Chains A and B, each alone.
Chain A
Amino acid sequence: MKILITGDSHTGALSQGLAQVRDGLPGGIDIVVKPLGGGHILPTPFFRDAGTYAQIVDPDYRRNFHRLPPHAINADMIALSAPLWPMRVMHQMVWPRHSIDAAIPGGQPISRAVFRRLVMEDQGQVLALCALLQRVGMPVLAVSPPVMFRDHATLRQMAPEHVRAMFDGYRAIMLEELAARHIPVLDVPPDCVDADGFMRPEYRHENPEDEHHANAAFGALMIRQLAALAPSLLARAH
């Protein structure tokens, strides 16, 4: 079984993790990691529905793929690292001091319904891509990026409980949307997070200034998990 992992920059840790664990993968499981590109492009119309495939039209993404599913990689399943990364919406929320569930000094709360709309705006293209892949018979899986590290920049702007309410709220909305579309999710293993729900520091990126990507150790964990669960995930994706 061949699994193509693609999506945003969180594929970096997955690729590094794959390099560490490739030799120990169960027989019959082949995993390829190749990114689309920067996640900031995901909310834009980066592909065109060409009937039997998604034609990638964004110039940056076309440097990696001209189409999905790709001709060159004969994948049995595509795992997308894209639907579960809340930071684009978090930036829209945190810097202008928007919040959900509670007002913050100097800020402007918004309703859960408005927040959901922001999430759906952010992920509309990704969900459309998932739908297209499903329609053409390509099983799709969502791979979660890491959750928040304790030193993420947004946590310096607003009390952690407000930031987390939005981060977790985003993920909850997307998990619900993915479930409604029968898209299985490879989520962050519980052991990777501390009691407060933050990523454990041992999975933090080696660059001290990068507080949102995880490292190869996290990638390796996720790849091992993917390989172990691949048959059941594929069955669920079908």
Chain B
Amino acid sequence: MSHPYRSQPPRAFWKKTVSHRHPMDVGDWYSPRILFEGKSIATAGSCFAQHIGRALRGSGFDYIDAEPAPKGLPPEAHMDFGYGMYSARYGNVYTSRQLLQLLRRAQGRFTPAETAWPHRGGVVDPLRPTIEAEPFASVAELEMLRRDHLARVLDMFERAEVFVFTLGLTEAWLSAADGTAFPLCPGTAGGTFDPARHRFRNLSAAEVRADMDAFLTELRALNPSVEVFLTVSPVPLMATATQAQVAVASSYSKSVLRAVAGELCDAHDFVDYFPSYEIITQPFMQGYFFEPDRREVSPHGVAHVMKTFFAAQGGAPMPAAPAPPEPELSEAERAERVKCDEELLAVFGEGEP
């Protein structure tokens, strides 16, 4: 007797894919719809997206760094100043609302009413309050850096051929005045929480879908050939502002995000979904990929996710980082060194110990 399941591949069946297999041997997680090879890639999202960006950068993909660190800043300090986290210094973009507003801000179509939050004697940008370890010295400095940042974000959106976005949260803190979605609750890393000005919103599936639809439409209007690669962060909420227990609230958040990612993938042939969320959180993984706090994903987990990704997309999973090349000297630096050597030689001749 014929029925649709007869023509399904083995990966469609739990028994053939999961049962009696070691969790690490479970395969067929992902068949790429969009290919990364030879394309310029930009990343944004919640913290798990940082792992993806790092792996792509280290594996020979054409990764966009629209806001690079200055040459003399040592690599170990890049993260302290928000460099290299993502393709530009926007910090974590946790929600669909933040992402949509980021694009609109970069295009000059949305300007939040709250422009600077006082913090520890300086000011921070409400839309990236922890982008640097210390607050900016003045509003003028903050605004100058923000203008440059948003110009670079626009450039990134315009030239990305694949935009990778990791959906992280549904819980958002919004401005009551204009709906600005803050990445962090006002008062936690700058500013002052004011219930009259700030409101909590746990985005529904319909709201996330509407945000993402608007984002995709507006992004494709700017960059018609860009493809979008979605993942859902497997990292549970650190805290919830709802009345639910935190694990229950996490489950809501991730379920919404996962469902919307699936809908978007079904609705648009330029959208792909990569199941990093499932690889980490499936019950048969027994929490193996979480750190002892049962929240952070371990390096093993990240490596396993990226191995799965690279197996499908090509590229090498996290090769050993080559020794950093000697920074190139400009002609002027070279000339200056020569002048210094000449000066020392002319005045002191050959030195003796």
Contact = CB atoms under 8 A, between A and B. Distances in A.
Interface in B331-353: 332-333, 335-337, 339-344, 346-348, 350-353
B161 interface: no
A63 B352 CA distance: 5
B240 to A, nearest CB: 33
B159 to A, nearest CB: 16
A1 interface: no
Nearest to B142: A111
B132 A113 contact: yes
Nearest to A219: B347
B352 A35 contact: no
Nearest to B330: A95
Contact of B73 (A37, A64, A118): A118
Contacts of A12: 343-344, 346-348
Given A9-B344, A111-B145, A118-B70, A35 B333 contact: no
A209 to B, nearest CB: 7
A95 B67 CA distance: 16
A40 B341 CA distance: 10
Interface residues of A, number: 48
A91 B332 contact: yes
Contact of B343 (A98, A103, A213): A213
A164 interface: no
Nearest to A38: B340
B144 interface: yes
Interface residues of B, number: 40
Interface stretch (B133-141, B208-216, B225-233): B133-141
Given A64-B353, A109-B148, A113-B132, A34 B348 contact: yes
B351 A113 contact: no
A101 interface: yes
Contacts of A40: 333, 337, 340
Contacts of A122: 72
A213 B339 CA distance: 8
B3 interface: no
A87 interface: yes
Can you list the 5 inter-chain pairs with the closest CB atoms, starting with the nearest?
A: A9-B340, A12-B347, A64-B351, A92-B72, A63-B351
